[in-house]
Structure 1
């Protein structure tokens, strides 16, 4: 995602819920800034972004609803009229619902001679830029008529779209879409970044995000700590301890990857290679015997042992310091025996893929088992099985879902997907804003699990490893996509960039 600020200052890491932003807005008003002044600053910010992004715009069409979001839109229209830029407002919903500051903004637009046409009578715009000021952060239910029709019209007109605060129809808290949502090219968001812009469907609908703080003082912003934070790789890399000049391989732990049932040996190998490239001192694989020759041929640095039962695996577990269980594990009796022995070992665990599905079934690991020393990495489908829900419910509120998994199982959790979320026992939920659609391919989760194992082997807690590992993985994917493109990106394309990103640490 592209995240920037209107004043070109560093993008702040704190992310807010809708309620937290409302509280900041009210605090700014209580401190002496009139609401209409904040609204005019918001409209000015959107107009400035339109001019900077589309300097040759021939016509500005502003779709306005009936709340404060519409008020911001009316200010945009008034400013365009002042600059002699052709502008029109398409009014969606009843004008008599406009009140307070929004009504003052409407009067401002009328004073500047802005043409305002009811939606039912307006023609679909065929040129210029569209500004979406239909619905704000207060939307809770499904989008209904006439807003549904207006959103569909915006999305089908084929023109660039700038959203005011957030795309209409998108939930500010969790990134869910309420029936339909505006697909914006740019979103100008105000005061603080709404966390729903960065996860769930948010990244697909908001385009480039520009934060305009509206000159709200820092002391007011500090009254809300935020319910989530954007994870930033550079800062997280500093949590990885530097290597002593006299270091040896035993200082950096031993990762064992357990997986690779029949036909899935490559998954375990990708995880092992990622662990090694992340800096683990030793890496081994416990897998089906038939995979051993291919593993040694590709990566002789990895120690490979073939095991046909949990009983055969048990003596090998005296060596590693962390286990990565799940890549290519399958759900056979062999798979269940592998997980059973891993859990029994008491070692720190990274659980992925079918290890999570077996865990959710409750046969091998007793239900309600909680551990502080494991790291779970579900995608939405696996998360649904862990919680006994369906995938749509998980995606409807990803923040609540990742918190629920962490509360039930303990340790740390990465809920994968666009805007991956990281939750641990302490601290706010972390949001990963790196990454790209090219990561939607087999093996990406295996590489992530190996990265996480490699970091834990080097002494990181599961919480710190989750935060750094998720960012490292996504950033490596962005670098790889820059080189080879998103379409056709392979999981192993990420591995060389792990070394590059970690080179100074």
Structure 2
């Protein structure tokens, strides 16, 4: 599933119209038909359609025609005094020729008439503003949106909820709170932002007759992860195989008073399929692992020679969970970056000690995956968390490109990017919001890297499987813990093969 900004849609529309010769009114008609599919014609009888003066309004007017043709009762409202776009005008004239009354909203009395109509209706179709909106919603627009939100039983928005930025997720003062948003060709970037679901409701993508090669021509390689994609990437285990076929993970984690993180990361690596797993840590953490993860091996963190030797043999290293923000942690990160040919997964305190020292990432011999949450990303970049959250994809992409790493920016719709190709993960839920989840994910990704998956594939599979496992467990539990994930991750990965 492709993700894009609004400018891409404008480009592909322009190419389809000017180069392929597809009339713009045909694209509008196809958009309307895509919306009508979701209007529950078998269940609902009375619709209110409210349209602006641009092409989004034209889509809504075309939807009105199809509703009337289906024998439905429809009240149609137009809002604004600007001249209509060409195609909006065509559909407006068709309705007028059919004898359909279109009420223009220009004052408070019209707003009250709109309110009365919505109260009597089953569904409201929102076609006021599309992806081109850049200004604050004011005046009668503001009043109309408020009335819709207060009185509509079910609101369907066309392309984006009116008042919502499809690029950034910003709300321009006031915004429709849709039950469902029918968008076209691609998932809009703004839908990924925290809180966007409050306005979009369920998001459905409809094609409007633009060939895939045109979309691909302008698309910037941002995708939603889908189960079929992950299933193609995830491999069955060979019948005749042994532990040596599935790699060796080194986990550098844990410190006095923070032994749980090392146990979680180590056990997650074991349970997600690493052939061998070795924890490097303090005595307290090693004792916990000896008790709870008997499958893992271990070395005490003061065995410098043994650790150096092992570093040259392992396939991947996970570093950071529970280490503490100290000079010792920083020295460990430096040593790993300079001496490891395998893939390095950097998490938690191993990220925190890179604050102001991110150039160290450029010295890495092997591939690097960093797995920050927004707070850690803010420390790495020097940006405020609010800024990180407002443009997560672009910030993650820029960081990945500059430092030559893969960024797994955790949170709602986790971003996975190498700076060129980006994936957005749809799995996971609020029941997973508790300590240890990140440590668990780090162990899973490092394990998959050791098993021979590319760093990008390991990140995508790990993030998707981690979230899907949490989704399944949460069907029966109010809170899902890292231990719940570890206990079920092997089954989830098996199902993905």
- What is the TM-score normalised by the length of structure 2? 0.87
Deviates more, 1:450-459 or 1:289-298: 289-298
2:129 counterpart of 1:108 = no
2:432 counterpart of 1:439 = yes
Note if contact 1:370-1:410 (Cα within 8 Å) is conserved in structure 2.
no
Deviates more, 1:56-65 or 1:280-289: 56-65
Report 1:60-209 matches (<5 A). 60-92=47-79, 94-110=80-96, 111-118=98-105, 120=108, 121-123=110-112, 124=115, 125-126=118-119, 127-157=121-151, 159-198=153-192, 200-209=194-203
- Which residue of 385, 391, 394 maps to 2:385? 391
167 and 318 in structure 1: CA distance in 2 versus 1, 3 angstrom threshold: same
Deviates more, 1:176-185 or 1:298-307: 176-185
Q: What displacement does 1:406 show?
A: 0.2
Secondary structure class of the residue paired with 1:131 = strand
Note if contact 1:151-1:181 (Cα within 8 Å) is conserved in structure 2.
yes
Which consecutive unaligned segments of at least 5 residues does structure 2 have? Answer: none
2:343 counterpart of 1:348 = yes
Q: What displacement does 1:459 show?
A: 1.7
Report 1:265-276 matches (<5 A). 265-276=259-270
Note if contact 1:414-1:422 (Cα within 8 Å) is conserved in structure 2.
yes
Q: Which residue is equivalent to 2:354?
A: 359
2:444 counterpart of 1:455 = no
Q: Which residue is equivalent to 1:7?
A: none
Q: What displacement does 1:143 show?
A: 4.3
Partner Cα separation in structure 2 for residue 112 and residue 227 of structure 1? 46
Q: What displacement does 1:214 show?
A: 2.1
Q: Which residue is equivalent to 1:36?
A: 25
- Which residue of 310, 315, 326 maps to 1:321? 315
Q: What displacement does 1:503 show?
A: 2.3
Give per-residue Cα distances to partners, 1:300-350, cap 9 Å, x unaligned. Answer: 112244436989965664553321112222213443344343334324210
Secondary structure class of the residue paired with 1:97 = coil
394 and 350 in structure 1: CA distance in 2 versus 1, 3 angstrom threshold: same
Q: What displacement does 1:210 show?
A: 2.2
Partner Cα separation in structure 2 for residue 153 and residue 16 of structure 1? 31
Secondary structure class of the residue paired with 2:475 = helix
Secondary structure class of the residue paired with 2:354 = helix
492 and 203 in structure 1: CA distance in 2 versus 1, 3 angstrom threshold: farther
492 and 89 in structure 1: CA distance in 2 versus 1, 3 angstrom threshold: farther
Give per-residue Cα distances to partners, 1:431-479, cap 9 Å, x unaligned. Answer: 2222323233322211211111001111222222222222222222222
- What is the TM-score normalised by the length of structure 1? 0.86
279 and 138 in structure 1: CA distance in 2 versus 1, 3 angstrom threshold: same
220 and 348 in structure 1: CA distance in 2 versus 1, 3 angstrom threshold: closer
Note if contact 1:81-1:112 (Cα within 8 Å) is conserved in structure 2.
no
- Which residue of 295, 299, 319 maps to 1:301? 295
Partner Cα separation in structure 2 for residue 181 and residue 329 of structure 1? 45
Partner Cα separation in structure 1 for residue 47 and residue 293 of structure 2? 58
Note if contact 2:51-2:78 (Cα within 8 Å) is conserved in structure 1.
yes
Secondary structure class of the residue paired with 2:103 = strand
- Which residue of 465, 480, 489 maps to 1:489? 480
286 and 370 in structure 1: CA distance in 2 versus 1, 3 angstrom threshold: closer
2:489 counterpart of 1:501 = no
Number of positions where the alignment pairs a residue of Structure 1 with one of Structure 2: 486
